[in-house]
Amino acid sequence: MKRLDVCLEDVQEAYTGPVGVLWELLMGEEIHVGGWEDTERLAALAGVTGDADVLDVCSALGGPARHLAGRFGCRVTGLDATPKMVEEAQRRTARAGFSDRVRFRLGDALAMPFADASFDIVWGQDAWCYVTDKAQLIGEACRVLRPGGTIAFTDWVETGAMDDACWETLHRFMLFPYTETLDGYTMMLEDEGFAVVRFEDISSTFPSFCREYRRALTTTLREQICDRFGEDLLIAAEQGITGWIDAAERGLVGRGRWIGWKADE
């Protein structure tokens, strides 16, 4: 599988600067496709309940963590590798009054700072595409899950063959080291011993979301982005998102949703 020369430090630097702000402006504080509705859908499939201990891996600003705690009353731990994201997530969580149920830890998804069998659910939404070794991430998720626990996530994936120039342009814009395939994630889960109880190809809605991000970028948010970050960032973002729209419409990229179950010991 092709890999781009992008490392964790590159992503940390980007999300400490304008990139994190830009994606929040376009997507809201959840910073994933589909917003609250997508979080609700994943939670329903994962069977989130009030007594669950949930680990949100690559939790960014903590939007989904707070949503789950507020909606279900569960306990949520967010793990993210960018200090600014963790600090801002903690600040927003305290302001929202969820600090008794939601906490955040700075750490690496490939070496999670938690003991074995610590959580009932490992959760992720459109963020594992930034991780340099998805198989190791899935292994870590299995390790920190309790027997009978659930892994539930969505992610951006490759869904068709593309030439090298197209592949590099898309991945470099997003700072993805690579994207997994639909079958690739399913095989990783099975190799780690998970029973894949649900898998959905949700690529059909991906182009429309990307088109909406471009529309907001070039209309309602245009002046704000130019004033804060300059026209060069606006132009680069528009070009980058347009590339993803084109690839999505051609069936080359999309999204998937997975629910896996860790067997009882």
Say how far apart CA 240 and CA 97 lie, in whole Å.
37
HSE value, Cβ hemisphere, 13 Å, CA-based, for 105: 13
- The average confidence (pLDDT) of the chain is 97
Would you say residue 265 has pLDDT above 80? no
Contacts 24+ apart (CB under 8 A), 18-24: 18/228, 18/229, 18/233, 19/175, 20/60, 20/61, 20/82, 20/84, 20/85, 21/228, 21/229, 22/225, 22/229, 22/233, 22/237, 24/61
- List, in order, residues 6 or more apart from 88 with CB less than 8 Å away: 61, 62
Instruction: For residue range 9-57, list pLDDT tens digits in order.
Output: 999 999 999 999 999 999 999 999 999 999 999 999 999 999 999 999 9
**What integer is the mean pLDDT of 123-138?**
98
Q: What is the pLDDT of residue 57?
A: 99
Would you say residue 190 has pLDDT above 80? yes
Q: What is the pLDDT of residue 120?
A: 99
- Kindly report the backbone phi and psi dihedral angles of residue 123, in degrees, each rounded to the nearest multiple of 5, phi listed first: -125, 145
Q: What is the pLDDT of residue 236?
A: 96
Instruction: For residue range 58-111, list pLDDT tens digits in order.
Output: 999 999 999 999 999 999 999 999 999 999 999 999 999 999 999 999 999 999
- Angle between helix axes 18-27 and 222-229 (nearest 10 degrees) is 170
Domains belonging to the chain, first-starting first, are 8-262 (3.40.50.150)
First to last CA, the chain: 34
Q: Name the helix (H) or strand (E) containing 128.
A: none
Q: What is the pLDDT of residue 2?
A: 86
HSE value, Cβ hemisphere, 13 Å, CA-based, for 217: 26
Q: What's at 7, amino acid-wise?
A: C
Would you say residue 1 has pLDDT above 90? no
Instruction: For residue range 233-256, list pLDDT tens digits in order.
Output: 999 999 999 999 999 999 999 999
| Residue 94, token pair as written in the block | 């305290």
| DSSP classification of residue 34 | T
Give the angle 15-21-23 at the CA atoms, nearest 5°: 85
Question: Is the overall model pTM greater than 0.75, yes or no?
Answer: yes
Q: What is the pLDDT of residue 264?
A: 85
**What integer is the mean pLDDT of 168-187?**
98
Would you say residue 112 has pLDDT above 90? yes
